[in-house]
Amino acid sequence: MTTNEPTVLLPGIDEAEAKKRAGAFARLLRMPLGLLSIIILVAFVILGLLEPVLSNHDPLFASLQHINAPAGTSGWLLGGDQYGRDIWARVLTSINVSLISALIGAGVGLVFGSIFGLIAGYAGGRADAVLSWIFNLLMTFPSLILVMVLAPVIGTTYQGMMAIFGLFLAPGIFRLVRNLVQGVRNELYVDAARVAGLSTWRILSRHVLYVVRGPVVISTVFLASSAIGVQAGLAFLGFGSTQTPSFGSMTGDAFANIYTEPMQFVWPSLFLALLNIGLIFFGNAYRDALAGPQAVVAKKRRRHETSQETVTRYEPDGSVGGGLLKLRNLRVSYPQPDGSEKNVVEGLSLDIHPGEIVGLVGESGSGKTQTAFSILGLLPKEARVGADEMRLAGDSLIGVSQTQMRKLRGGVISYIPQEPMSNLDPSFTVGSQLMEGLTKGMSKAEAKRTILELLERVGIPDPARTFDSYPHQISGGMAQRVLIAGAVASRPKLLIADEPTTALDVTVQAEILDLLRELQGELGMGVLLVTHNFGVVADLCDRVVVMRNGHLVEEGGVREIFHHPSQEYTQELINSILDEETVRMDPPVVVGSQAGGAL
């Protein structure tokens, strides 16, 4: 145990995780619902344990004088039922029955589900396929009916029925554990542990179980609640021994008596509901607590900030100029869970003139894609965007409503994505998705003709067939042509292309770049070409803007930048063309120096 401890493998993750776990319970106690749930659950356990002390009568003892006795009768705290039995004594016994049912049902489900989930997730392959098949099947079974039919076989004890029912609860845990284990297994640190020569068992216990623990606790709590509900239901129907009072048999008896004594139904229902509230609140609160301290803070903060404008309404002198796109001091930031702001674009200014192709270059994380999306108005909801000036063909884009922005997107401004396949809706034909943006002021037949013409223009061999194809039926290169056709369908003034060739085969890349150049010439569009590749820039662009860590590094004509880059960073990017197209001879400089912390 003491040798070869792989503590150094994961210093950051392990420590942070350990802190998070250790803090989870403390946080749980600080959350109102968490504390309440724990108080309820502890109270129930104490009531159950102290049953012999707290009850005056045997739960089966029937007193003729106390038939339907009202609550508060001396010595009969909650009164008597229709047979003259002490309701309080029966409630206390029922608490124990429910708690034991929860332990057995959830316990069996937990043990079976975790063991087989671990095996399936860790072993993978055939074992995984067989086990997943079995548990999927088990999940679809009408468990209640089968447990009921087997009730005479199992015998009259509720414990046996709960053990059988627990098997039907196992699939939920199985899937959870299997998926989590599979995820962990594929992560680096288990591989690293394996290299370090740890036995399979050690890997499982140290790393895998650690990750799996939290979610499993949460779902086990819900299983416990299910088990309590099913036990109550079966006892309500009359399954199980009449000698064992339980919430189910109490509600069942009270239901028969409900016309005359509705309160007798209220007591067992109330305690049953309270017990479930304790469990469910505990599960929910534990989930929140595990999510970490940040989640709680973030929730509180958001409430204050929703009133703020996300876009700064600030329009200075109104000088328009002759540009197609005019961008001044663009800022994009994202609120962080800990309450701070992460700036991804800081003070970028940019101009594009009609018919000009501008390359926006930088490594990943430099903010170039964020810049592109903020012009399109397609940043995620959480993003905060501000700019001193953002004008498209003279019109300000600041403070424009979503509806107006949508009209612009279907008209003067358009977009070509990086990854063509994931950018087509898999459930609709190519033609129908392209037509959807186009039907404004155009009949369906007209729109279809336009799209077919465009598909032919972008070099698709059989436009009619592609029009009726689903995305999975066409190749990546074809898909990119389709998206280009969609982007130019509205004859935009500004085309924003985000790494349009990165995901494509090298042979197709050149064709797509040629196509873009041709279309740009035909339509006279301004193009903002976002890329990390100076090769593409050299091929296509008039001007280059270089970005790094959200800032503009330098800008200028393509030739000028290529021959006399003023910044070292630009030189590195230019050098990396060679790295990409030839064998890497030197260590990957750009990637290495990208760590912003060094600067």
CB of 427 to other proteins, least distance (A): 5
List the x/- string, 392-411, binding to other proteins by CB under 8 A.
----------x---xxxxxx
User: DSSP readout, 97-148?
Assistant: HHHHHHHHHHHHHHHHHHHHHHHHHHH-HHHHHHHHHHHHHHHHS-HHHHHH
Q: How many CB atoms lie within 10 A of CB 411?
A: 14
In the complex with other proteins, the residue whose CB is nearer, 260 or 443, is 260
Stretch that binds other proteins, among 204-212, 253-261, 567-575, 576-584 (CB under 8 A): 253-261
In the complex with other proteins, the residue whose CB is nearer, 273 or 510, is 273
**Side chain identity, residue 397:** L
CB of 237 to other proteins, least distance (A): 6
Chosen residue from 122, 135, 174, 265 binding other proteins by CB under 8 A: 265
CB of 483 to other proteins, least distance (A): 7
Chosen residue from 105, 109, 367, 417 binding other proteins by CB under 8 A: 417
| C-alpha separations of 538 from 335, 371, 552 in Å | 36, 21, 19
215 binds other proteins (CB under 8 A): no
Tell me which residues in 113-152 interact with other proteins (CB under 8 A): 137, 139-146, 148-152
Chosen residue from 94, 220, 433, 501 binding other proteins by CB under 8 A: 433
Locate 598 and state its tokens: 């060094």
Chosen residue from 179, 269, 349, 594 binding other proteins by CB under 8 A: 269
Return the sign of the alpha-carbon dihedral for residues 378, 379, 385, 390.
Answer: negative
**Strand, helix or coil for residue 334:** strand
In the complex with other proteins, the residue whose CB is nearer, 276 or 520, is 276
Q: How many CA atoms lie within 13 A of 295 on its CB side?
A: 13
Which helix (H) or strand (E) is 300 found in, with range? helix 293-305
CB of 204 to other proteins, least distance (A): 29
501 contact partners, CB below 8 Å, separation of at least 6: 480, 508, 509, 512, 513, 536
256 binds other proteins (CB under 8 A): no
Tell me which residues in 527-546 interact with other proteins (CB under 8 A): none
Chosen residue from 163, 237, 263, 538 binding other proteins by CB under 8 A: 237
In the complex with other proteins, the residue whose CB is nearer, 59 or 417, is 417
**Strand, helix or coil for residue 215:** helix
Which helix (H) or strand (E) is 361 found in, with range? strand 357-361
Helices and strands: H and E segment counts in the chain: 24, 11
Tell me which residues in 453-512 interact with other proteins (CB under 8 A): 470, 472-473, 483, 486-487, 489-490
Token pair 């197609």 is found at 324
Chosen residue from 174, 286, 415, 534 binding other proteins by CB under 8 A: 415
CB of 232 to other proteins, least distance (A): 6
Tell me which residues in 355-394 interact with other proteins (CB under 8 A): 376, 378
In the complex with other proteins, the residue whose CB is nearer, 352 or 434, is 434
Which helix (H) or strand (E) is 575 found in, with range? helix 568-581
Tell me which residues in 150-179 interact with other proteins (CB under 8 A): 150-153
